Structure 1
Amino acid sequence: MRRPSPLLLSAVLVAASAFAATAPPSGGPADLRALTPRIDCAAVRGVDLSRATDAPVTIASATVVTAGTPAPYCEVRGTIAPADTFVVRLPTEGWTQRYVQTGCGGLCGNATINYGQAAGCEPVTDGAVASATTDMGHQGRNDGSWAANNPQAQIDFAYRGVHVTAQTAKALIKAFYGKAPRYSYFTGCSDGGREALMAAQRYPDDFDGIAAGAPASNMAVQNTFHHAWNVLANKDANGNYILLANKLPLVHTAVLAACDTIDGLRDGLIDDPRLCRFNPSTLTCKAGQDPSTCLSAAEAAVVRKLHDGAVTSSGARLEPYISHEWGSELEWTLFIPAAQGQTVASENFALSYLRYLAQPNNPRPTYQLSDLRLTVESFWKTVMPSSSYMAALDPDLNAFKRGGGKLILWHGWNDQHISPQGTLIYYDALRRSVGNADSFAKLYLFPGMAHCGGGEGPNSFDVLTPVMSWVETGKQPGRIVATSAARTRPVFPYPAVARYDGTGSTDDASNFVAYTPRNPVRTDADWVGKGLYSSQYQTWPRAVNGKLVL
């Protein structure tokens, strides 16, 4: 993101006026002139990056790729000291002066460019953008063990990896084409969404436009109490699971029977699950009832606990209220096993973090979920050390806004990994922290969509084109059309929802209009860690003598 000096303001305004004329009539991204390389791909290996980045860069290879791609590109692979590996793709023809950096998921460890819900963006499908990604500073297993006694890897994963990769990629772009990118974008989901928000918060000049999907922004809480609760709430005194996956369709059918039509349409989707007042106890078995058609009292209690989220014995919330939305029950196989004796994914997520990341200088490879205490004191001791640099919860994006940055947040209502409540709370905090937030930030919530994609609702869409159009032509994002095999449905900027106009097929997006409820649902942000959504506690740690210094 480049900011003009006051001395150049008039020239910038003239240039902007001339540029606006190049915007297509549809209001999409600008029609930018395509450029060709100034040097051969092989020559990239000799590019001097010593003054362009914060750390030494080693280029391992630079080769032209032609197979399986819409347009040939120069693939550059290398390492940013000490251990951030990266991949950069530079089109060898028709580069339209855009740079797109993609995020990675989980605890990363691989540098695979993944456009995700930006894959349908026309400049991307045409192969006209330069792009890059990074493994976030380590190549270890995705179980957290790479972090043990490796403080620099923790810093790189937290926030540094994305920044130094952006520096490196932009320097390579300038060397290859003789011109820096006119616009730079970041798109990612899950941890990629967290990386996106980290960039906006800590390095507001790195990107002009950002699409942050299902962000794992509350990293420490999510990977400790949230995922641990998914397991612990479903265990009896003997350590056996109470609720098994064969009961999930029963619960889901009952939820839809109770709440599907609250949006005025019976379509298997709940536009705003917060309006659903489903009571799992209504499924409790009656005398003589076939147990396959109902829930035991213990099973019904587990369903309630999984919906509501982690609490202490006295009821204090250890994560935001509503851990898993009503309507998402078919996705709960992430943490509800099919049979006794199985280890669910949520247990692996929680143990990876609790063992190697929660206490940065104290790896605990034998830690078990039974060691986690569900108390307020335990909450702060568990999440605070790493939240100060792993969490991306700072709502003060004034610097990003001042630089002209645009942000689209998006989340699936049926997300089984990361609750959309955290994104709602962050968006509310952002709006309180930044004046006229609608001028640079929008939130989209997709009914029926699971984590980053999938689910019963339409879940394939293009989130990058609206960001590009907003940055390049000033067109504010409106509806985003999501598709599935049999249905298209528009999603509008929150708090607006889609409403059927009464004509035509309910599977056709063109038959829906935006509707803003007169009394929008207020997000319940009252929980133990609500103070984390601030700028007051974050740190820039250093690696000193094998230790992380906060």
Structure 2
Amino acid sequence: MPRSPRVAAPARPVTKQGTAELPAVMPVMDCAALEGLALDGVTDAPAEIRSARVSVADAAAPYCEVRAVVAPANRVVLRLPVDGWTQRYVQTGCGGRCGRTVINYGRAANCPQVRAGTVASATTDMGHQGRDDGSWAAFDPQAQIDFAYRGVHVTAEVAKAVITGFYGRPPSYSYFVGCSDGGREGLMEAQRYPGDFDGIVAGAPANNLLAQNFFHHGWSVLANRDAGGDPILLAGRLPLLHRAVLAACDTLDGVADGVLTDPRRCDFDPGTLRCAPGQNRARCLSAAEVGAVRRLHGGAVDGQGNRLEPEVAHEWGSELGWSLFVPARPGRTTYSERAALAYGRYLGRPNLVDPSWRLSDLKFTVASFWDAVRASGHLAALDPDLGGFQRAGGKLLLWHGWNDQYIAPRNTLAYYAAMREAMGGAAVDGFARLFLFPGVAHCAGGEGPARFDVLTPLMAWTESGRAPDRIIASSDGHVTRPVYPYPAVARHTGTGSVDDAANFAPAQPKNPDTPDNDMNLRWLGRRLYSGDYRTWCTATGVELVCRPENTWLIRGELRRPSGDRAD
């Protein structure tokens, strides 16, 4: 249920970062005594604390490590400061297909409160353990439900109950931080459980999970194969391609730094690399390689040109990361192939387990697209109407790296545009911000400045109302750059070092909405941005049984459960 809007509290002093000056709270019980803490009636499922002990591993200060299980199989780990807790709870998401209990702050690790070890934290394995190939989902519908949306929610409930028992009071502020699948988890929370968190950081969200793993990853492999099934483009050719892209587009933003500030401005033509007769093959691409590059850049389409994902799957400038799906040599299996196989065999087709499913079984047609996504209403976090989260006072910080090789940045742009269309731009501006980081790869790394703190700006906005107007990203301590809320981009002022963020200012694109509107309209799944797409599921024996929230997708059309077409 949505939490009630936060009642205005007496004004608290704030730090220079804009976060509240919250007094440290000491535990009211011993760490080991938590093993006997009763959790009955405080969660949506029975929970049991299995162990509690003081630890100092991988932390700036001692903490009580608590391990619990939420029925039937959600393993949860908590870290509770024992020398002073500053009344904040930070829950972290997981990546890939989860299955591990590792508290990973990601880009939030630079938050001063996190570095000091004064926040209470928790994470979950999302209800399953086992191999990363998705086989844990076989004949285990409850594990699929927990992975889809339930695991994060019940973890938040258990963690808050444990925190309240340990410190004698609940958190003043609760935050969620995740990237990749963790970004999907954050959006899922805002959409389905808007009362769980005061602030959510959703980085590079895999919120369109079936389209992502079937059509995005599957296309990234198959579009690079010849008629015999062998790869056309090999990873050793990617540096040549990358250098050509930079030669064409690096200075479009006024700075020659090996990073494209806004790849949408780059109109690179891979045909310029096509080998001339007698040309040294080390310096050019074959006609087949040029074709593969075009397909990989453009993204999944059917035979008639219908787009099965938002236009531009892999941005110009990100080529060095394409080894995720471009193999080093024939016969090598890439990550993208493994991801598509996991969904084709175990996760993407409810109640159908087929370990023999091959990537060649994937069809890029309108019919296959709707058959796939129609079954994924429990996995996707595509509802753009976050009114419940907004009304409860929640704040959302979306971010994505322009060089993301796993998840297309324009997928996040499409969702953000759908939010603004559904709720109105002014409403969205009041509680959400989107930041696009030039040169940053999937959740970390890349050619651009990739060290930044996304949690402190969210805390400041939540705790003192200071909306984030920029985030400073750094690279090895030598280069700093500001990143401004979308659609603004950083432009060098013309004076001072280009390595210093102080010498940049925000600039507005001439037509900021045009690229998004074009991209958002020109793909088949645009109609998925709706709460009508969402389903809630139950485990009935070994079957997953899902019911629609409001309406459902039948043959690519929104229809009411009775079969009448929705208006």
Q: Is TM > 0.5 for Structure 1 vs Structure 2?
A: yes
1:405 maps to 2:394: yes
Match in the other structure for 2:429:
438
1:218 and 1:338 mapped to 2: Cα distance?
Answer: 28
Q: 1:27–1:475: 8 Å Cα contact kept in structure 2?
A: no
Residue identity in the other structure for 1:518: K
Alpha-carbon deviation of 1:522? 2.1
Whole-Å separation in 1 of the counterparts to 2:58 and 2:328: 39
The amino acid across from 1:340 in the alignment is P
Deviates more, 1:524-533 or 1:193-202: 524-533
Q: Which runs of 5+ in 1 are unaligned?
A: 6-11
Name the counterpart of 1:515.
Answer: 507
Partner of 2:4: 3
Deviation for aligned residue 1:519: 1.6
Matched, 1:531 2:497: no
Shift of 1:70: 1.1
- The reply to whether residue 491 of structure 1 matches residue 483 of structure 2 is yes
User: Aligned ranges for residues 50-89 of structure 1 at < 5 Å?
Assistant: 50-89=40-79
Distance in 2 between the 1:433 and 1:315 partners? 27
Across the aligned residues of Structure 1 and Structure 2, the Cα RMSD in angstroms comes to 1.1
**Corresponding residue for 2:537?**
541
Q: 1:4 to 1:272 in 2, by over 3 A?
A: closer
Counterpart code for 1:547: E
1:192 and 2:185 are equivalent in the alignment = no
Displacement of 1:2: 5.0
Mapped to 2, the partners of 1:519 and 1:239 lie a distance apart of: 42
1:137 is matched with which residue: 105, 112, 127?
127
> In structure 2, the residue corresponding to 1:161 is in which secondary structure?
helix
User: Are residues 1:367 and 2:357 paired?
Assistant: yes
CA distance in 2, matches of 1:467, 1:68: 24
Alpha carbons 2:17, 2:456 under 8 Å: kept: no
SS at match of 2:311: coil
What does residue 549 of structure 2 align with?
Answer: none
Give 3-state SS (helix, strand or coil) of 1:514's partner: strand
Where in structure 2 are the equivalents of 1:351-366 lying within 5 Å?
351-366=341-356
Instruction: Please give the alpha-carbon distance, in whole angstroms, between the structure 1 residues aligned to 2:276 and 2:310.
Output: 33
1:27 is displaced (CA, Å) by: 4.6
Partner of residue 455, structure 1: 446
Q: CA-to-partner distance for each residue in 1:101-147, whole Å, 9 max, x for gaps?
A: 00000000001000000000011111100000000000111111000
For residue 463 of structure 2, what is the aligned residue in structure 1? Answer: 472
What is the CA-CA distance between 1:271 and the residue it aligns to?
1.0
Structure 2 residue matching 1:60: 3-state secondary structure: strand
- Compared with structure 1, are the counterparts of its residues 327 and 315 closer, same or farther at alpha carbon in structure 2 (3 Å cutoff)? same
Shift of 1:341: 1.2
- 1:279 CA displacement: 0.7
Partners of 1:354 and 1:518 in 2: how far apart? 43
Of 24, 42, 51, 1:34 maps to 24
1:287/1:409 CA distance change after superposition, 3 Å: same
In the alignment, which of 280, 284, 291 is matched to residue 301 of structure 1?
291
Give the drift of 1:518.
Answer: 2.6
Aligned residues of 2:5 and 2:391 also touching (Cα < 8 A): no
- In the alignment, the residues of structure 1 paired with residue 529 and residue 254 of structure 2 have an alpha-carbon distance, to the nearest angstrom, of 35
Matches for 1:117-266 after TM superposition, within 5 Å:
117-266=107-256
TM-score using structure 1 length? 0.96
Q: Give the TM-score normalised by structure 2.
A: 0.93
Letter in 1 for 2:398: L
Shift of 1:318: 1.0
Instruction: Tell me the distance in 2 between the aligned counterparts of 1:459 and 1:27.
Output: 20
1:461 is paired with a residue whose SS is coil
Aligned-residue offset at 1:236: 0.6
For residues 2 and 232 of structure 1, what CA distance do their matches in structure 2 show? 46
Aligned pairs, number: 538
Matched residue type, 1:466: P
Distance 1:317 1:66 in 2: 51
Return the letter of the residue paired with 2:515: R
Task: Summarize the alignment of residues 267-278 of structure 1 with structure 2, pairs less than 5 Å apart.
Answer: 267-278=257-268
Q: CA deviation at 1:382?
A: 1.9
Looking at structure 2, the residues matched to 510 and 480 of structure 1 have their Cα atoms a distance apart, in angstroms, of 12
Quickly say closer, same or farther: Cα 1:264–1:169, change in 2 above 3 A.
same
Q: Which residue type is aligned with residue 463 of structure 1?
A: V
1:478 shift after superposition: 1.1
Q: Does the 8 A contact of 2:395 with 2:432 survive in 1?
A: yes
Summarize the Cα distance change of 1:158–1:266 in structure 2 as closer, same or farther, 3 Å threshold: same
1:149 Cα shift? 0.6
Query: After alignment, is 231-240 or 258-267 more displaced?
Result: 258-267
| AA matched with 1:432 | E
Q: Is the 8 A contact 1:27 1:473 kept in 2?
A: no
Show CA shifts across 1:385-417 (max 9, x none). Answer: 02x010111101000000000000000000000
Partner SS, residue 131 of structure 1 = strand
Distance in 2, Cα, partners of 1:68 & 1:142: 25
Q: Distance in 1 between matches of 2:152 and 2:238?
A: 39
How far the C-alpha of 1:503 sits from its partner, in A, is: 1.5
Report the Cα distance in structure 2 between the residues aligned to 1:143 and 1:2, rounded to whole angstroms: 37
Query: Which residue number in structure 2 is paired with residue 9 of structure 1?
Result: none
Partner Cα distance (2:90, 2:5) in 1: 22
Aligned-partner Cα distance in 2 for 1:184–1:314: 48
Report the equivalent of 1:422. Answer: 411
How big is each residue's C-alpha offset from its partner over 1:365-384, in whole Å with a ceiling of 9 and x where there is no partner?
Answer: 10001111111001111222
Percentage of identical aligned residues: 61
* Structure 2 counterpart SS, 1:390: coil
CA displacement at 1:4 relative to structure 2 = 5.6
Structure 2 unaligned residues grouped into runs of 5+: 547-567
Cα distance in 1 for partners of 2:82, 2:263 equals: 47
Deviations 1:443-502 (A, max 9, x none): 000000000011000011000000000000000001101111231111000000001011
Residues 105 and 384 of structure 1: is their aligned pair in 2 closer, same or farther, counting only changes over 3 Å? same
Following superposition, the deviation at residue 65 of structure 1 comes to 0.6
Compute the displacement of 1:331 (Å): 0.6
Amino acid at match of 2:542: G
> What does residue range 4-23 of structure 1 map to in structure 2 within 5 Å?
12-13=7-8, 16=9, 18-20=10-12, 22-23=13-14
CA contact 1:23–1:473 (8 Å) conserved in 2: yes
Q: Which moved more, 1:28-37 or 1:377-386?
A: 377-386
| 1:155 match: secondary structure | helix
